[in-house]
Amino acid sequence: MPTFNDLGLKPELLKAVEALGFSEPMPIQAAVIPELLQQATDLVGLAQTGTGKTAAFGLPLLHHIDSNRAETQALILCPTRELCIQITRDLDSFAHFMPSIRVTPVYGGASMDVQIKALQKNPQIVVATPGRLQDMMRRRKIDMAKIEWVVLDEADEMLDMGFQEEVDIILSSVPEKRHILLFSATMPAVVESILTRYMKNPVIKTMGKRNAGTANVRHSYYVVHARDRYKALKRIVDFHPSIYGIVFCRTRAETQEIADLLINDGYNAGSLHGDLSQQQRDHVMNHFREGNLQILVATDVAARGLDVNNLTHVINYSLPDEPENYVHRSGRTGRADKTGVCISLVHLREKGKIRMIEKQLSQPIAQAKIPTGMQVCEKQLFNYVDKLENVEVNHEEIEAYLPVVFRKLEWMSREELIKRFVSIAFNRFLDYYRDAPDLNVDESRSRYEDERGSGGRGRKKDSRDRGDRSDRGGRGGRDGGQEAGYTKLFFSVGKKDRIKPNNLIGLINQVTRSRDVRVGHIKLMENFSFVDVDNNSVDLVMKSFANKKVNTDGVRVERSSEKDSPSSSRGGGSRKPKKYKR
């Protein structure tokens, strides 16, 4: 394995790397750095988050930058404010012995005037989020004319968050003679399009299999009934007393609900979602990074850019709509050569999703059994005993109090004393789990009940039953229609709102606060959409979307037919269009 000294970096960079305690480069660094030092070229680096990508592109950039030129020579685009700040800190550390190098972060949620003043000093490197950078470009506050390097970090997440248009504008505005470095955990079609349209004969470096998860993560899933999902989450957390992890939910409402339940039940938890102010978000993330929170409950978008290297667990309270998002979630643990665990809570009809994720990961996901109450108590007991055995005793401070303690407890035997000390911390678990039920789904019984069908009709459900498409795959079925007991509903959002079928299903789940609404055929029009909703859920959907407190986007829903849609006479409603992002 080569050392950093073998890569050919400038002495100032080697000195900084040594000061940071690095000796051997990580695989992505060993593959990318020599390539970029030997020749200026376009490059694609495929590797998971937390594998050292910042140093892989940051050190070569600093090697090539002319510190004597007071011009912006390199632009680094990243999806979130947090990642923007983290990259800037890392680059400042690498450039510690290069005092003429200036690195300026440009991101939303901070003073634009302060950032404009920083840009007026002509930093050699600008690290930016796409939205704020485009604002600076419109105001002509950044000079793009001398840019020689453009880095797209976490490209898949950036485009998945809806920044395709901004990225296109930015890449079209940099000089023709520039080099693009693209780093991504996965390579979906939108990322492939960047490679095709803007990059010239790029060198491709892949760490592990393309679009696959990190090898340091152990994957498993538990099959549970929807009503038992929170109980199963608590049991998993209790079974891992030293857990330091993220619980992923689908919607903001679900995220806050689960976080509140955990806090009320005495867990050291916090929430992270889009309804929080930037100040609240920073407060939660700082507490989590510092280890003051043991569990963070988050949505996919809110957790992007969260840079924590010591996570032990990622728990999917709800599976993501896209397999690629599972890869991103699981990649939050198992970083920096550490091992991690990714656990998913699924119901029977989601096992098809697990198969899709396995293909994405290129590895099987083991089905596990939810621990019994007795197993949880045993794990907690041994954890407490380990702490008791390894606790650091402050002899000098406690010595003066011991004679009184000894006299007070001298009537107890050794065995009685141990029982009482253990019981102080352990009685709560014993009480809670004394008659704890088995939360594992009896799959043979559940399949039998499915085959019987609802209402005793004896209708067999299998993979061809279109009515279950949304439950199994997270998307609306294309063939469900009204034949399977569905009612067609009109939704006042359409293609102009950049909405897709999975967005509509997510919106229905969020507003109804239920994942049991079965969706059939979805037809997207320019200004509106038609969605077939199962008859048993129509009233719930109508009432929920009529409630302005939960339907915060103001989406109008009515019973309709395609021949007599409300939009034909009303123009699709007057609601202000909202861009829905995947």
Q: Do 261 and 401 sit in the same domain of this protein?
A: no
Looking at the structure, tell me whether residues 470 and 388 fall in a common domain.
no
Last residue of a domain, which of 183, 206, 229?
A: 206
214 burial level (CB within 10 Å; 0-12, 13-18, 19+)? buried
The answer to whether residues 336 and 268 belong to one domain is yes
Assess whether pLDDT exceeds 70 at residue 44: yes
Banded pLDDT at 562 (limits 50, 70, 90): low
Is the distance from CB of 365 to CB of 249 less than 8 angstroms? no
Task: Please indicate, yes or no, if residue 441 is contained in any of the structural domains.
Answer: no
Is residue 317 located within the same domain as residue 362? yes
How many C-beta atoms lie closer than 10 Å to residue 244's C-beta?
18
* 462: pLDDT strictly greater than 60: no
Strand partners, 220: 343, 366
pLDDT single digits (tens) 248-258: 998 888 999 99
Q: Give the range among 123-127, 306-310, 485-489, 539-543 with minimum mean pLDDT.
A: 306-310
Containing domain of residue 49, as a range? Answer: 4-206
**pLDDT in the model for residue 12:** 96
Beta strands in 27-172 (DSSP E): 43-46, 74-77, 103-106, 125-128, 149-152
Q: Is the pLDDT of residue 33 over 90?
A: yes
Once rounded to an integer, what is the mean pLDDT over residues 119-147?
95
What type of residue is 549? Answer: K
**Beta strand 217-223 with 340-346: parallel, antiparallel or unpaired?**
parallel
Question: What is the per-residue pLDDT across 151-178, written as a single tens digit (0 to 9) for each?
Answer: 999 898 888 778 889 999 999 999 999 9
Q: How far apart are CA 8 and CA 555, in angstroms?
A: 58
* Phi, psi of 37, rounded to the nearest 5 degrees: -75, -35
Is residue 552 over pLDDT 70? Answer: yes
Residues 506 and 413 occupy one common structural domain: no
For the stretch 263-282, pLDDT in tens is 988 899 999 988 888 788 88
pTM of the model: 0.59
**Domain boundary at 349, 370, 391, which?**
370
Coarse DSSP helix, strand, coil percentages of the chain, rounded to the nearest 5 percent: 45, 15, 40
- Is residue 71 domain-resident? yes
Residue 444 counted as domain residue: no
276: domain CATH number?
3.40.50.300
Domain assignment of residue 445, yes or no: no
pLDDT at 452 over 80: no
Domain count, the chain: 4
Token pair recorded at residue 373: 């109450």
| Nearest C-alpha neighbor of 48 from the set 164, 184, 140 | 184
Does residue 460 form part of some domain?
no
Residue 298 reports pLDDT greater than 60: yes
Domain's final residue, options 148, 176, 206: 206
- All residues at 6 or more sequence positions from 144 whose CB lies less than 8 Å from its CB, including other chains: 72, 75, 137, 173, 174, 175
Decide if 443 is inside a domain.
Answer: no
Whether 179 and 267 map to the same domain: the answer is no
Query: Same domain for 244 and 363?
Result: yes
Same domain, 363 and 381: no
**Residue 213's pLDDT band (boundaries 50, 70, 90)?**
low
| Residue 128 three-state SS | strand
For residues 183 and 36, state if they share a domain. yes
| Statement to judge: residues 193 and 274 lie in one domain | no
Same domain, 16 and 154: yes
Amino acid at 26: M
Q: What is the mean pLDDT of residues 547-562?
A: 81
Residue 273 falls inside a structural domain: yes
**Residue 20: which H helix or E strand, with range?**
none
Pairing of strands 486-491, 557-559: antiparallel
Residue 138 belongs to some domain of the structure = yes
Structure tokens belonging to residue 376: 């949880």
Same domain membership, residue 394 and residue 346: no
- Whose tokens are 């404010």? That residue is 81
Query: Which letter, b or e, does each residue of 40-51 get, where b requires 16 or more Cβ atoms within 10 Å of its Cβ?
Result: eebbbbbbbbbb
Supply the mean pLDDT for the chain: 83
